[in-house]
Amino acid sequence: MNILLLDSGNTYNYGSMMMAENFIYYSSDCGTAKNKYYVSTNNEVHIERLKDATGIEEIYSVKVNDLFKGNLAMAYAKKKIIRIDTRTDLCKSMDKIIFLGGDDFTEIYGGKQLMGCVYYVDALRYKDNYIALVGQSIGPFDKKREKFILSVLKKMDLISLRDPVSLNYLKNVNKFSNSKSVTDLALLPLAKEVKPLKNTKDYVVLCPSEIMYRHAKISDRDSFIEINSRICEYVLDKLPNIKLVLLPHVWNDGTHGDAHIMREIFTKIEDKYKERIQMNDFSMQPYEVRNLIYQSKFLIAERMHPAISGLECEVPSVVFSYGRKYEGIFEKLYNLEDIIVDVRNFDDYNVMLTDIKNKVDFVIQHDDELRKKIATINIKTRPVALNHIKEIMK
């Protein structure tokens, strides 16, 4: 079977890579089946990283222009106006097309990016192929474009949703029959992660974010760096026997990723703490990140997917949030509202800092309780994610 994976082409975004490698690994029956996977990417390094992570060699790169006769814009125009099939033979050979989640079908990153994704899947959709949008947050959309977007989404064979707001918007409000609620594919164990016999709890991991401050009420990068440095100081002073590891969970997103802001945080505190702070200023595989998380006392996660890895590793996190995708996983599914720091709720950074410190104290004080709670819910969530992949493959 030929499977095309979209929105998975940057493996330096470890969240995106975890979803891609888990889909590949588990849909291949844990590496034993002979499917061929085509990943839309402009850099062959991402294919090699996926091969390494999954142990599967039948993974190939494909560019957007390889899928259409002409560029995407021209192909889409011809399909809609002249009504001709603008796909290449390579594109037609795909048995399944999987657009892996995130927020691409919301307006959180602006209308231009949203419409680009809508046109993309509409250009690919024909009666003889299968398209699934997997692990998505969807809408709500501006009324000016809502009708058109919904008409495109109704053509999809399957839309799996990771938050209750999206499910209600599509299923109850707009009567979609092709949508269902699932959980994040990254909640499944990665092929090469190694669970230790004992958690040493020698350090705390901080995964800073280059985008989190942009969603706060007061969007100020310098103040956010200051908050991070003061949180580092708070943790290191409160726990004198542990170390702090700074780890970017998006190593590169085409600009600076999270490594740039990580270095600035490190510079502000390195002289004071010297041997007690470690900066992981290099790219990693997600399974290497998880092997690190397994041995940590807790995480401070300013991206969603390091906190997802914390759940899978049964290590508690203080989770920075800016949208409903966090609510769906951490509040509705895991009932962990006490660990969420929603940056949209604060118009004063000192008040936010106090709330973060309180969340750190809560995680430290309730360590065993949180770990047991997460482990109990994992027993329920892992089969949901695995069965979802199997359903798609049928």
Specify the pLDDT at position 109: 81
- Residue-wise pLDDT tens digits, 308-318: 999 999 999 99
Q: How many whole angstroms separate alpha carbon 286 and alpha carbon 40?
A: 19
* Confidence band for 70, pLDDT divided at 50, 70 and 90: confident
Q: What's the rounded Cα separation, in Å, for the pair 170 and 84? A: 30
pLDDT at 255 over 70: no
Enumerate the H helices of the chain as residue ranges.
14-27, 44-54, 72-77, 89-92, 111-124, 143-153, 164-167, 221-238, 259-273, 286-294, 304-312, 324-326, 349-365, 367-393
Q: Note the pLDDT of residue 256.
A: 65
Reported as a single tens digit per residue, the pLDDT across 157-214 is 999 998 888 999 999 999 999 999 998 999 999 999 999 988 899 999 999 999 999 8
Structure confidence at residue 9 as a pLDDT band (50, 70, 90): very high
Q: In the CATH scheme, what is the code of domain 203-379? A: 3.40.50.2000
Q: Per-residue pLDDT tens for 299-354?
A: 999 999 999 999 999 999 999 998 888 888 999 899 999 999 999 999 998 999 99
Which CATH code fits 2-186+381-393? Answer: 3.40.50
* pLDDT confidence of residue 253: 74
- State the Rg of the chain over Cα: 21
- pTM of the entire predicted model: 0.95
Asked if omega into 140 is within 30° of 0 (cis), the reply is yes
3-state class (DSSP) for residue 50: helix
- How far apart CA 305 and CA 21 sit, in angstroms, is 14
DSSP state, 87?
A: B
Average pLDDT over residues 119-143: 94
257 falls in which pLDDT band (50, 70, 90)? confident
Spell out the domain ranges in the chain.
2-186+381-393, 203-379
Question: What is the model's pLDDT at position 254?
Answer: 66
